Structure 1
Amino acid sequence: MTDALLTRLSSTPLLAVVLTLAAYLVGNALYRRLKQPSWLPPILLSAVLLAGLLALIGLPYAIYQQGASWLTFLLGPATVALGMPLYQQLPRIVELWRPLVVCLPLAATLAALYALGIAWLLGASPEVLASLAAKSVTAPIAIGITEQLGGRVPLLMGALLITGVTAIPLVSLAARLLRISDDRLIGFALGLNGHAIGTVRAFDLSPTAGAFASLGMSLTGIFTALWLPLAWHLVGGLG
C-alpha cells in the first residue's frame, strides 16, 4: 500500500474499523474450523491476524488506535448489557451470595498482587507495574484504573489479552482436578480471572455459567476500581 493511499485511508476511522472487523470475522471462522479449542479463543486469533495486517500494510499502531477509538468506547455499553443475564439468573445468584462475598475480595486482590509481585521481582519499572495492576479487570474499567496509576494503556491491553487467554484453560484444568461441575462456580471463576474473554467462554458452556461470569467480571471491576488506586497511592506507586 502506497504511503499516500495509506495516509488518506488512515485519516478517517474507516480503515481501522474495516481491519478490526475483518480480523474478527476471520478469527472466528478459524476458531470454528479448528473445532473451538478452549486454549485458542477467537480473540487471540483475531489479535494475531490484526497485528499481522498492521505490519503488512505498514500502519503504525498509534494511528490505528486513533481510528479504532470509538470501538473502544463501545466496550462500556457492551459491558452494561451483561446486566440482562444477571437479572435472569438473579434467584441463583442470591443462593450463593455469602460464599461469593467472601471469596471475591480475596481473589480480586490476589489477581493484582501476584502479577505485581512477579513483575517487581523481575525489575519492572513503576510504569510497567502500573500497566499490569488491573490486568484481571474488564477493559472499560481497567483503562480508567491504569490512567489513574500512570500506566500505559497499550501495555495494559496486551496484559488483558494474555490474562484472559490463559485463564480459560487454567480454570478448566482446575475444575477437572477439583472435580467441580457446577456451572455457577466455573462461570464465576472465569469472569473473575478472565474478565470479558472468560465471560465469552462461560456463555459457550451455558447461560448460567455466562451469568455468573458476568457477575464475577463486574464485581471484580468494581472492587478493584475502589481499592487499587487508593492502595497504589498509599504505597507511593511501589516506587
Structure 2
Amino acid sequence: MRWVVEQPLTWLVATLLAYRVGVWLLDRTRLSVAQPVLVAVVLLGSALLLLDVDLGIYAEGTAVLTFLLGPATVALAVPLHRQLHRLRGFALPMLVALVLGVLVSVGSAVLLVQLLGGSEELARTMAPKATTTPVSLALSAEIGGIPALSAVLTITAGILGAVAGPWVLDRLRVREPRARGVAIGGVSHGIGTARALAEDPVEGAFSGLSMGLTALLTSLLIPLVVALLL
C-alpha cells in the first residue's frame, strides 16, 4: 500500500478523479461552494495529510498538468476571438476599470496587512494576489515577498472569487455579461474564468481577457504602488 501511494502516477490519477468528483458534485447540487477546484483541493489535501505523502511526489506526478496550464491559458483566446465584436465601445471603460481595480487590489492588500500589524514582507507577499499563480510567483520574488505563500494566497483568492463572485454580482444587480466577466477575471483569474465560462460564453470570454490584462497591469503598477505605500 505504501508503495502505491508514493508513486507519482497515483497522484496524477487521484487529481483527475478528485476534479471529476467536483464536477459531478456541482452538477448534482448546483451549489456555488461545490466548485470543482475547491472540492479537489479539499480531497487531495486531506489525502496527502492522512497518508503523509511528500509534496515532492505529488508535484512530480502532476507535472504534466502544471505544464498544460500554459496552453490552457493561451486557449482562452479562442472564446474571446468569437466575442471580439463585443469589444466595440467597451475597450476604454474596461481598461479604466482594470487599472483602478489593480490599484485597489494591490493597495488594499498592503494597507490591510499594515493595519493588522503584519510585517512588510507579508505585505509584499499579499500584493500580487489578484494575478494568475505563475505571475504572482514571479512578482512576489521581484518585490521581496514570499513566492510560495503568494501562490497559496492567489489560489485562495481564485477559489473565493469563483464561489462568491457571481453571488455578489447578483446582489449588486450587475447583469451585463461583459461587466461580470471583467469583474470575475480581474479578481479570481483562471479559477473564476472557468466558472464564468460555464455560466455564459460572453462572460467567460471577457473574464479571460480581464485575467490577462490584470496580470499585465499588475506587473507594471505593483512596483510603483509598493514603493509609495512601503
Task: Classify the TM-score, shorter chain.
Answer: 0.7 to 0.9
1:139-175 deviation digits (Å, cap 9, x = unpaired): 2322222232343343223212321232245433443
Does residue 132 (structure 1) correspond to residue 129 (structure 2)? The answer is no
Q: Is the 8 A contact 2:32 2:164 kept in 1?
A: no
Matches within 5 A, 1:147-226: 147-226=141-220
What displacement does 1:73 show? Answer: 2.9
2:117 matched to 1:123? yes
Note if 1:88 corresponds to 2:91. no
Deviation of 1:67 (Å): 4.0
| Alpha carbons 1:187, 1:208 under 8 Å: kept | yes
Q: Tell me, in whole angstroms, the C-alpha distance in 1 between the residues paired with 2:11 and 2:145.
A: 24
Match of 1:32 among 3, 27, 32: 27
- CA drift of 1:90 comes to 1.0
Separation in structure 2 between the aligned mates of residue 92 and residue 113 of structure 1, nearest angstrom: 31
Question: Is the alpha carbon distance of 1:7 and 1:188 closer, same or farther for their aligned partners in structure 2, counting shifts above 3 Å?
Answer: closer
Higher mean displacement: 216-225 or 133-142: 133-142
The one-letter code of the counterpart of 2:31 is P
Q: Any stretches of 5+ residues in structure 1 without a counterpart?
A: none
Conserved 8 A contact 1:27-1:49: no
Structure 2: state its 5+ residue gaps. Answer: none
- The number of residue pairs the alignment matches comes to 230
CA distances 1:170-199 after superposition (whole Å, capped 9, x unpaired):
433443333221111111111111111111
- Paired position in structure 2 for 1:47: 41
Q: TM-score, normalised by structure 1?
A: 0.85
Deviation larger for 164-173 or 216-225: 164-173
Percentage identity across paired residues of the two chains: 36
Which amino acid is the alignment partner of residue 113 of structure 2? A
Cα deviation code 1:60-119 (max 9, x no counterpart): 234423443443232222111111111111110122012112111001121122122222
